A and B are shown apart, each in its own frame.
Chain A
C-alpha cells in the first residue's frame, strides 16, 4: 500500500524528458562545431598577426590568404551552426 502511495506521489512529479541517443549525438556534434568555430577564428587572427609581422612579401601574402580563407570557413561553419540550432 505504501508503495502504491509513493508511486502515486511520483506520478504527480513533473517528468524530465530523457535524452534519446539522437539528441545526445546532436548535442555532441553542436559542441564539436562550436569548438571548431572558435579554433578557426583564433587561427585566422594568428595568421593576420603573422602577415603583419613578416619581412618576406611572399610569406606575408601566404599568411594573408590563409587568414581570409579561415574567416570565410568560420562564416560557413557559423551559418551551419545557426541552421542547426534554429529548429
Chain B
C-alpha cells in the first residue's frame, strides 16, 4: 500500500491531537507527582508535534 506524504501527515496530525486529549485526561487521574509531571510533559510535546504537523499540512495548501 502506498501513502502519499499528505496522507501520512494528516494521519500523524490526528494521532497527536488524540494523544494530547488522552494525556491530559490521564494526568487528572494520577496522584504520583513525578508521574503527573511526566504525563504533563508528554501532553505538551504532543501538542507541539500537532502544531508542527498542522503547519506542514497548511504550508502544502491543505487543511488539517
Contact = CB atoms under 8 A, between A and B. Distances in A.
A50 B2 CA distance: 11
Interface size class of B (residues with CB under 8 A): 20 to 34
A83 to B, nearest CB: 9
Given A29-B31, A56-B5, A59-B56, A66 B12 contact: yes
Interface in A65-87: 66, 69, 73, 76-77, 80, 84
Which applies to chain A's interface (DSSP): helix, strand, loop or mixed?
helix
A55 B19 CA distance: 26
B32 A29 contact: yes
Contacts of B53: 62
Interface centre among B15, B23, B30, B35, by most chain A C-beta atoms within 10 angstroms, is B35
Interface in B9-64: 9, 12, 15, 19, 23, 26, 29-32, 34-35, 38-39, 42, 45, 49, 52-53, 56
A26 to B, nearest CB: 8
> Which are the 4 A-B pairs with shortest beta-carbon distances?
A50-B8, A56-B5, A59-B5, A54-B5
Given A80-B34, A80-B38, 18 more contacts: A28-B29, A29-B31, A29-B35, A32-B30, A33-B35, A36-B39, A46-B12, A47-B12, A50-B8, A53-B8, A54-B5, A56-B5, A59-B5, A59-B56, A62-B52, A62-B56, A69-B49, A84-B32
